[in-house]
């Protein structure tokens, strides 16, 4: 009888090792990170500011935007003569045109006739 119990105990030892791989059915699932969640939004790029005070637009991340507009998860709060104030991920930041870039005003001159051979 003791020999039979010992044989059963020896037979159960490999099963105990396999129990490590079992999952508790009452435990909540572990979230799996998706590739889209890991995708990073591009850093903000300000290419130009166009307009006159009170009616300015900016080219922000390649898109034309006014105060109150948004590009992706960036919200443009205001457009300055040389930059923008935006909100992203709970933070408000200012972004300015690179040094040497100038504010572009719309042309008020009448269009010129094309020159050259007719």
What's the pLDDT tens digit per position in 44-99? 999 999 998 889 999 999 999 999 999 999 999 999 999 999 999 999 999 999 87
Q: Which residues contact 101 (CB under 8 A, 6 or more apart)?
A: 48, 82
The structural domains of the chain, ordered by start, are: 42-96 (2.30.30)
Q: How many other β-carbons are positioned within 10 Å of the β-carbon of residue 46?
A: 20
Q: How many other β-carbons are positioned within 10 Å of the β-carbon of residue 44?
A: 16
Q: Tell me, yes or no, if the pTM score tops 0.85.
A: no
What's the pLDDT tens digit per position in 18-54? 556 677 888 887 776 655 555 677 899 999 999 988 8
| Residue 42 in tokens | 């591009």
Name the nearest CA neighbour of 101 among 75, 80, 77.
Answer: 80
Tell me: pLDDT of 12 over 70: no
Tell me: pLDDT of 102 over 60: no
Handedness of CA 17, 22, 28, 29 (dihedral sign): positive
């Amino acid at each position: 009888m003791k020999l039979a119990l010992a044989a059963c105990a020896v037979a159960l030892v490999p099963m105990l090792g396999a129990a490590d791989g079992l999952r508790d059915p009452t435990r909540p699932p572990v979230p799996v990170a998706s590739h889209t969640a890991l995708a990073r939004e591009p850093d903000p790029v300000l290419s130009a500011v166009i307009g006159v005070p009170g009616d300015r637009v900016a080219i922000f991340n390649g898109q034309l935007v006014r105060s109150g507009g948004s590009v992706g998860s960036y919200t443009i709060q205001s457009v300055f003569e040389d930059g923008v104030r935006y909100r992203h991920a709970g933070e408000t930041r200012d972004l300015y045109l690179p040094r040497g870039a100038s504010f572009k005003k719309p042309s008020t001159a009448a269009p010129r006739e094309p020159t050259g051979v007719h």
